[in-house]
Structure 1
């Protein structure tokens, strides 16, 4: 330091001087503090050392105090304010930390050190008693050391003197806790998601800085080839990595100031972990969090719950995977709290917003052709849920999904009609005019649409499927085995009739020509179809054709040209089919498997997620490679081993997941009230078991007798026998409860 550059107060052993500011207002404040006169005339070369500023005046005081930077930077409005009682300057905060690193006498320098006993560097300015000591410091002790890795790994033998506990001082619940007006949060009652113990008093640690308080961006490596810093757009979009606990300990086991071993205190809650590092030698301490905290909820825990839910995954399966590799995750109850409070309200809100946007587009379009079909969560008449889907057939986008529970309508047989009714009422309420609807041949739907004066057409695949099953059943009879040879031709004929532009009686005439064809009769009296479309072929084997008067021909004719089938043929759709709806049903399986029972709201939200995924990826193009369209060869079961080519589509996108993430973290989490209220307005039917009388658990358990105890002790054997308990096997009831909750 040059002799002319000194603190205006004559301070000694200073390491940082600050020149008089040029900005007029600040300059007057500085002069008022130094000379007691804001208009004092002085030279430009007037300096004040850092001892006369409070720690709030520095931008990077925490990094300087911890020894990770050697240069202090003033804030834009910093003004000196600290003096001794006699007017001489004094140190308002500590400047340097003592170092126990050996150094030569030539490098030694005398320094004044003020060390608070155990104050965290992340805390604010607090009154404290200080003392001044002198020590020898190496000139390189407080410099940030940058070591370039050469790819050599060594393991240092150390003595672990750390103290670790797994409790937490944070209330990391699912309910956000807001800071007060002053910006200082009160210490919350300790309620951990993981149920850890609380045994360490750290009330003086600030929770306002979730990131590492000792990291100094200005002191990072300048070599771009060595370090690449990427600023994430938001906390939830930041990249995550799997870090081993042993690797984390290596970061905190030695003091960055004196290089001695430190005491460590670990706190964890699911994916969140925090370390308090305290050095018993130089009294250095700091707190490090593995992830940000929003309110009182770790961001990683909430985002993991959101990722599992929005991708259609299962928390139970995810938890098994994580436990297999000892990867720490939050508990199932926390996942359910996240779902009820944030995730399901976000899904419902986004679906309704997207639906409103699509409805506005359809209003400008005019009349629309729609398709409808129901999907049950289990086969037969034992289904609990039925979801009726309405699709706009031109764009193949899902318009609406209605979830019906069987006890709402008196049985699962009536769910399809109720779902269609609710869907059409919603379209009518939003001024969507339906031109016609394509459905299957459900009798209740047929009657309902006739009463609503809505034109109905039938899907070809459903008609072909029903007739093919009946023909296959007939082909197993002894006198009708010839039908088996004609099954492929009969199926092709159904599609040929449906694909024609003929309607009404003309389509029926084309359908009945099949009977003439299978008898090898190529002409008939119908002027529209005097003969078959294919060239005449003379067969020398009469057994290939159905013979008049045979049982096989009679049963085939009775099945294909009866009154109901002919009436359905008139209504076969020539323009659109519901094959895209069937494809959507296969997508639902990935979000809501039939083997898992979900609550009503959970099932509804998973259906909406499937709808978002389908609408986003419905128009995927065929993939190409070097200009050639890609195909894959499949061997489907219904083809009985016959290969078929399938186009390879481009990879699906998941932009709806990103939008849901942004919605949760930017809107729902800060103010969940209005979103939860919107979802609460959905009417939820009572459970199927609500109609039955509840029996106390003790009565049920006492009446439980396994088949083993019954065999051992007979029918009068005590129900409390040891054979009734099977601790070595998984309890079906427990597993069922988990799935019910999910």
Structure 2
């Protein structure tokens, strides 16, 4: 006698082998009732070949992250089989990176597994969850229908979704603490901090180090073809004054605005925060010399140790105009507060403009000084000078209608002591007439997104975040200016603090790209997760200094309290 069994699933059937759909994996078993039962799981793309349910056998359970498993309590007599099936490395995890992900409520998932698709009886459902990974086991006690489903593939013993969430957070300069708060506000399940750190240590940081080394080698090969280079260097500390733990020294190629090298120094390596800038520059120049790169000149600030070190190393040095102007403007602004020099307030902006014009419109040092010292004659309404390098002012002759704007002898003497003393004139000769360090300052502002100063990082974590900022900056440093649909250049109006309420028009650039993140993800999912040993060895070659607390003797907790 044959009898038919009606089901709600009549579109396709199952194969007797494990089938991986896009985004989910499932396995179904059914009791042999004397006829072929055609089944089809909802929301799955499976084969249409009919098979007998008794032919299916469950697979072995993989090694999973047990410290994050959360199972629901069920009847003690019910012992379901494993909820997951061991994934092989032949599965391409990168293809899952391009899959779209959705937010799914648990109540909606349970509706899929509550009733048996064969006999429509209520099933026993068991859930297992690890971070963003969730798996369900469905068992019908009436007809012994059995099904297993998981929300994401597993590579080795790592759910791919957990790894991608950690990687996306790290590679974009995000914070696990903020991510956890956002997920907690929405009741979204996420990985624990210990899992995030383990993924970062085993997979993410080796990926970043390898990617930076390959990008740097490619950039150095391009720079070797150009001959001597004009570079800029500056240090950024993780805290103000001389209390910083880390100092990162950066060298930038001024032609392409690309970061050539970046060195991280911990203060206990050099005996204090004050010495980190010199050590960082030394390591950068040694790196360039070992790679065969020749330096034409370097643009820096006026740090005394840097001046002495470059002079001993026979490297031509120029000073950044902005740093020089900032230091001189503070002295002039303070002088303008005195009773005898109130006329100086009207000239502050003009003096700044004259300083920039004198430095950028000249080639030789004496010419820069000649143009700068002509300021003393100009503020007395004298526009013909004794210096043959700059005999006359270049502005058109005009008669002043306000004789009170010119300087009197007392005010002139005080201004001369500030603007034309021996040290100022000596440094003015070395002002950079071509390139400045403004692009380097823009890169330092970019670092704040990846490594905020109010967050403490360990050494490798800080280094990786600096590399991420450098890769992102190198990718977007040459972005063109945005245009309207009519082809006109786009500008935005701003009120910078330095202009004291005066607006400026700044060009708007096109939106930044994040191709480096895609490259990091591809490297992580294609190679590092498969075999991380060579990448970990590359990471372990970095010398990590001991923590600052290692130089102190740690007392017992009872003695402190």
| TM-score (normalised: structure 2) | 0.88
Decide whether aligned partners of structure 1 residues 197 and 245 sit closer, same or farther in structure 2, where only a CA change above 3 A counts. Answer: closer
Q: Contact (CA 8 Å) 2:83, 2:137: kept in 1 or not? A: no
1:293 aligns with 2:154: yes
Q: For each residue in 1:396-419, what CA deviation from the matched residue of structure 2 results, as whole angstroms up to 9, or x when unmatched?
A: 000010001111111111111100
Equivalent residue for 1:354, pick from 189, 193, 215:
215
Report the Cα distance in structure 2 between the residues aligned to 1:253 and 1:73, rounded to whole angstroms.
23
Shift of 1:537: 3.0
Q: Contact (CA 8 Å) 2:86, 2:156: kept in 1 or not? A: no
RMSD of aligned C-alpha atoms?
A: 2.8
Report the Cα distance in structure 1 between the residues aligned to 2:551 and 2:72, rounded to whole angstroms.
43
Q: Contact (CA 8 Å) 1:67, 1:97: kept in 2 or not? A: no
In structure 1, the partner of 2:418 is 559
Equivalent residue for 2:490, pick from 630, 645, 650:
630
1:477 aligns with 2:338: yes
Report the Cα distance in structure 1 between the residues aligned to 2:509 and 2:492, rounded to whole angstroms.
10
Decide whether aligned partners of structure 1 residues 98 and 571 sit closer, same or farther in structure 2, where only a CA change above 3 A counts. Answer: closer
Report the Cα distance in structure 2 between the residues aligned to 1:483 and 1:498, rounded to whole angstroms.
21
1:448 aligns with 2:309: yes
1:585 aligns with 2:444: yes
Equivalent residue for 2:270, pick from 409, 417, 428:
409
Q: For each residue in 1:3-25, what CA deviation from the matched residue of structure 2 results, as whole angstroms up to 9, or x when unmatched?
A: xxxxxxxxx9799xxxxxxxxxx
Shift of 1:123: 2.2
Decide whether aligned partners of structure 1 residues 405 and 198 sit closer, same or farther in structure 2, where only a CA change above 3 A counts. Answer: farther
Counterpart mapping for 1:64-103 below 5 A: 96-97=36-37
SS of 2:122's equivalent in the other structure is coil
Instruction: Flag structure 1 segments of 5+ consecutive residues without an equivalent.
Output: 1-11, 16-64, 76-90, 100-112, 127-168, 174-190, 211-230, 703-742
Decide whether aligned partners of structure 1 residues 575 and 95 sit closer, same or farther in structure 2, where only a CA change above 3 A counts. Answer: farther
Report the Cα distance in structure 2 between the residues aligned to 1:305 and 1:395, rounded to whole angstroms.
33
Equivalent residue for 2:557, pick from 697, 706, 725:
697
| TM-score (normalised: structure 1) | 0.67
Q: Contact (CA 8 Å) 1:98, 1:257: kept in 2 or not? A: no
Equivalent residue for 1:607, pick from 450, 466, 482:
466
Q: Contact (CA 8 Å) 1:375, 1:388: kept in 2 or not? A: yes
Q: For each residue in 1:263-321, what CA deviation from the matched residue of structure 2 results, as whole angstroms up to 9, or x when unmatched?
A: 11011011111101111222111110011111111111111110110000100011001
Shift of 1:251: 1.3
In structure 1, the partner of 2:456 is 597
Shift of 1:680: 1.1
Equivalent residue for 1:368, pick from 226, 229, 232:
229
Q: Contact (CA 8 Å) 1:270, 1:301: kept in 2 or not? A: yes
In the alignment of these two chains, the number of paired residues is 529
Report the Cα distance in structure 2 between the residues aligned to 1:365 and 1:558, rounded to whole angstroms.
44
Between 1:473-482 and 1:463-472, the stretch displaced more is 473-482
Q: For each residue in 1:437-493, what CA deviation from the matched residue of structure 2 results, as whole angstroms up to 9, or x when unmatched?
A: 111111111111111111111111111111112212222233322222211011101
Report the Cα distance in structure 2 between the residues aligned to 1:352 and 1:346, rounded to whole angstroms.
10
SS of 1:401's equivalent in the other structure is strand
1:667 aligns with 2:527: yes
Q: Contact (CA 8 Å) 1:194, 1:330: kept in 2 or not? A: no
In structure 1, the partner of 2:366 is 505
1:123 aligns with 2:1: no
In structure 2, the partner of 1:492 is 353
Which one has the bigger helix percentage?
2
In structure 2, the partner of 1:172 is 64
Instruction: Flag structure 2 segments of 5+ consecutive residues without an equivalent.
Output: 18-30, 40-50
Decide whether aligned partners of structure 1 residues 296 and 674 sit closer, same or farther in structure 2, where only a CA change above 3 A counts. Answer: same
Decide whether aligned partners of structure 1 residues 201 and 71 sit closer, same or farther in structure 2, where only a CA change above 3 A counts. Answer: closer
Shift of 1:93: 10
Report the Cα distance in structure 1 between the residues aligned to 2:10 and 2:157, rounded to whole angstroms.
29
In structure 1, the partner of 2:142 is 281
Decide whether aligned partners of structure 1 residues 342 and 641 sit closer, same or farther in structure 2, where only a CA change above 3 A counts. Answer: same
Larger radius of gyration: 1
Decide whether aligned partners of structure 1 residues 95 and 205 sit closer, same or farther in structure 2, where only a CA change above 3 A counts. Answer: farther
Q: Contact (CA 8 Å) 2:2, 2:35: kept in 1 or not? A: no
Q: Contact (CA 8 Å) 1:374, 1:387: kept in 2 or not? A: yes
Larger RCO: Structure 1 or Structure 2 (Cα < 8 Å, ≥ 6 residues apart)? 2
In structure 2, the partner of 1:207 is 85
Q: For each residue in 1:139-181, what CA deviation from the matched residue of structure 2 results, as whole angstroms up to 9, or x when unmatched?
A: xxxxxxxxxxxxxxxxxxxxxxxxxxxxxx86433xxxxxxxx
SS of 2:296's equivalent in the other structure is strand
Report the Cα distance in structure 2 between the residues aligned to 1:608 and 1:427, rounded to whole angstroms.
17
